[in-house]
Amino acid sequence: MKTKKQNYSHLSPKQPIGIFDSGVGGLTVAKEIKRLLPNEDLIYFGDTKHLPYGEKSKEAIIEYSTKISNFLLEQNCKAIVIACNTATANALKEVMLSVAGKVPVIDVINPVAEKVAYELHNNVGVIATKATVNSGLYKKSIRKHNKFIKVDELATPLLVPAIEEGFKNHPITHSIIYNYLSNTKLKNIETLILGCTHYPLLIDEIKQYYGNRVRVIDSPNIVANHLTIILDKYHLLNDNNPKPNYKFYLSDITKNFEKISKKFFGKTINLELKVL
């Protein structure tokens, strides 16, 4: 069966890029997109009212993700980045159906899985939320491209709440990281994928645990590069916008989100409450 060729001729490079996550984690992806694509307008939706997604049912995650995607379409976005591993693992198909080919949809699992599969990785570990691990999508995606790679996935559910509560460089996170990474499932890994966009906020602490023994994958950079390739392919890159606009919508405004978003995007940004 032939796949339908995508046609995005109705879209303009001047339209913003839409990004969503359950909370602050997707800001790691948004920050990298801002760095690689400094002329792009961005609209970010953080579903802080419903976090963490990793503890929610598949049905709930699908409902949240499709509603947010439709909202980003209403905001005239030219692409949607699902900056959430749990939403990708549980609702990617439904988001694609909901968007109905109107704009490109970029997820945070498949670009990472493909890159890892084609590089020299033998034993790969994945830490992620329960919902992402239960989906098995990382293992399926990596082994689809390279069936010889050994993939071990470990649910690490305490990390997202700790990050959302602002416990960065804190004895609490140090203890959680040590307990998770010393799990026997991750004993022989050579590479670690941070299978949640929140986790790069702790990347220094995770690298400190491993020293130089394990390569930690920088997922936000891979996703931002993939987005760049997609936008370039369809002639949707905005290369003439010296004062880009960044909009942030939250279903519940939290101090930690405000702190991290202003750190990444500047102190003059506004957070707008939007309950879908």
> What residues are annotated to the active site?
84, 196
- Cα–Cα distance for residue pair 10/224, rounded to 1 Å: 23
Closest CA to 84 of 45, 116, 114: 45
Q: Return the half-sphere exposure (C-beta side, CA atoms, 13 A cut-off) of residue 136.
A: 3
3-class SS of residue 185: helix
Closest CA to 31 of 250, 221, 231: 221
* Contact partners, residue 171, CB within 8 Å, separation at least 6: none
3-class SS of residue 183: coil
Q: Nearest-5° angle of CA 158, CA 93, CA 194?
A: 30
In angstroms, the Cα distances linking 189 to 138, 159, 210, 214 are 15, 20, 11, 7
Q: How many CB atoms lie within 10 A of CB 67?
A: 16
